[in-house]
Amino acid sequence: MTEMVYGSIPDRVGEPVLPRWWRTIDKWTLSCVFILFGIGLLLGLAASPPLAQRNNFASFYYVQRQAFFGSIGLAVMILITMMDPARVRRFAVVGFAAAFVSLLLLPIFGTDFGKGATRWFSFGFASVQPSEFLKPAFVITAAWLMAAAQDIGGPPGRLYSFMLATVIVVALALQPDFGQAALILFAWGVMYFVAGAPMLLLAGIAGIVVLGGMFAYNNSEHFARRIDGFLNPAIDPTTQIGYATNAIREGGFFGVGVGEGTVKWSLPDAHTDFIIAVAAEEYGLILVLIIIALYATITVRSLWRLLRERDPFIRLAGTGLACAFGIQAFINMGVAVRLLPAKGMTLPFVSYGGSSVIASGIALGALLAFTRTRPQGEIGDLLLRRGR
């Protein structure tokens, strides 16, 4: 339909799948993903041995697991990038249904691993965090509903997507997992804005979010403790934030040296939520800036390529995925430097975690599939047609 309305450019008839995939994929974004994963393994070599030692595992037990799950995540990512947007959407809707049901079953069958939040299903040899897989699936499903609402006689997709987002946010807040809830709501808000939502409505939703935050502060000890710790001007040096900020300060511009850092022996989450502190301490500001540049490149390049996209569904889904990916990285690093309250959120492709790296592979695979170059004509074609 898009090509019928806006015109098309010739495609190479009979071109094999792999050459066509390589010609149309965003190679810069693809390269940045692989570099981030490589950096994650490098930091895992430094951050995970102390934890392995405490748990009586081999020194590089967690690095080997990260390499295994990361290989699966990257393979899934490559496979998804070869799909057309319609197929990605179908798989995402089915995946959303499965992840949503899993999220609702967490209070019954889930575990908290002693962290005070029931977020995982434990299978002994591995654990699964449904919210990680729910994020990309929800973004694509919500984009599909919003795009359908733009069709003549289409369903009230914006309302349906808002109802889904509300249920998911409430379910996540009950775990409690306010970080993932905020990320879901942010991604939905960005897509709703791009879909043409009035600013007054968005302001009203923002007001509801503020009221929800006040309610959570007054009724959730977990939430209130994190907010109070963030607002307290004095940093307790024996807390995770205290260890992380001290490590970042000690690292300086060039770092203390590979393997010379000490924060990994103090932080229980040095290999996951606070891995950026390990990077800053041992490799210094240089590596941190490289990591920030890689995330910025992925986010900005994806949004730039989506500016030329005509299909509403692809534009909305791609925007939601790119912004969710970028803001998750920002939140993780912002917590480490005390710009934000502690969230318990991983750094995509860098932090340890099977669910995180595989779900990130799914999200980036879908994003790369949506930003592939497709025959849909140039913007000038549309302007010429409207001028006639």
pLDDT, tens only, 226-248: 777 667 666 666 677 777 888 88
Whether residue 29 is contained in a domain is answered as: yes
Average pLDDT for 71-80: 96
pLDDT tens sequence across 114-134: 676 788 888 877 788 999 999
Greater confidence (201 vs 360) lies with 360
Q: Given CA atoms 80, 86, 89, 90 in this order, what sign does their dihedral have?
A: negative
Q: How many CB atoms lie within 10 A of CB 162?
A: 20
CA distance 209 to 206: 5
Q: Give me the domain span that covers residue 125.
A: 2-6+13-382
CA distance 375 to 12: 10
Whether residue 388 is contained in a domain is answered as: no
Peptide bond into 136 cis (omega under 30): no
* CB-CB contact of 291 with 36 (8 Å): yes
pLDDT tens sequence across 16-75: 778 888 989 999 999 999 999 999 999 988 888 888 888 888 888 999 999 999 999 999
Residue 8 pLDDT greater than 50, yes or no: no
CA distance 334 to 282: 19
Q: What tokens appear for 158 in the block?
A: 């914006």
Average pLDDT for 3-17: 52
pLDDT tens sequence across 299-356: 999 999 999 888 999 999 999 999 999 999 999 998 888 888 777 788 999 998 889 9
CA distance 298 to 352: 20
Q: Rounded to two decimals, what is the model's pTM?
A: 0.88
Q: What is the pLDDT of residue 2?
A: 41
Residue 167 pLDDT greater than 80, yes or no: yes
Q: What is the pLDDT of residue 14?
A: 61
Query: What total of structural domains would you count in the chain?
Result: 1
Q: What is the pLDDT of residue 376?
A: 60
Whether residue 248 is contained in a domain is answered as: yes
Q: What is the pLDDT of residue 258?
A: 79
Q: Cα–Cα distances in Å, from 346 out to 207, 330, 358?
A: 28, 10, 12
Whether residue 88 is contained in a domain is answered as: yes
Whether residue 370 is contained in a domain is answered as: yes
Long-range contact set of residues 192-195: C-beta below 8 Å, sequence gap at least 24: 192/146, 192/158, 192/161, 192/162, 194/315, 194/316, 194/319, 195/146, 195/147, 195/149, 195/150, 195/158, 195/312, 195/316
Q: What is the pLDDT of residue 236?
A: 62
Average pLDDT, the chain: 85
CA distance 187 to 306: 16
In sequence order, the 6+-apart residues with CB closer than 8 A to the CB of 216 are 173, 176, 178, 223
Three-class HEC string of 369-387: HHCCCCCCCCHHHHHHHHH
Q: What is the pLDDT of residue 379?
A: 45
Least confident of 190-204, 235-249, 350-364: 235-249
Residue whose token pair is 């941190």 = 288
CA distance 271 to 223: 23
φ, ψ for residue 102, nearest 5 deg: -60, -40
For the chain, give the percent of residues with pLDDT over 70: 89
Residue 222 pLDDT greater than 70, yes or no: no
Q: What is the pLDDT of residue 315?
A: 95
Helix and strand tally (H, E) in the chain? Answer: 16, 2
Whether residue 231 is contained in a domain is answered as: yes
DSSP-based helix, strand, coil % in the chain, nearest 5: 70, 0, 30
Residue 112 pLDDT greater than 70, yes or no: yes
Whether residue 387 is contained in a domain is answered as: no
Please, what is the end-to-end C-alpha distance for the chain in angstroms? Answer: 21
CA distance 301 to 259: 34
* Residue 221 confidence class, pLDDT cut points 50, 70, 90: confident
CA distance 222 to 301: 37
Q: What tokens appear for 340 in the block?
A: 């934000």
CA distance 192 to 184: 12
3 state SS of 122 = strand
Whether residue 205 is contained in a domain is answered as: yes
Residue 253 pLDDT greater than 60, yes or no: yes
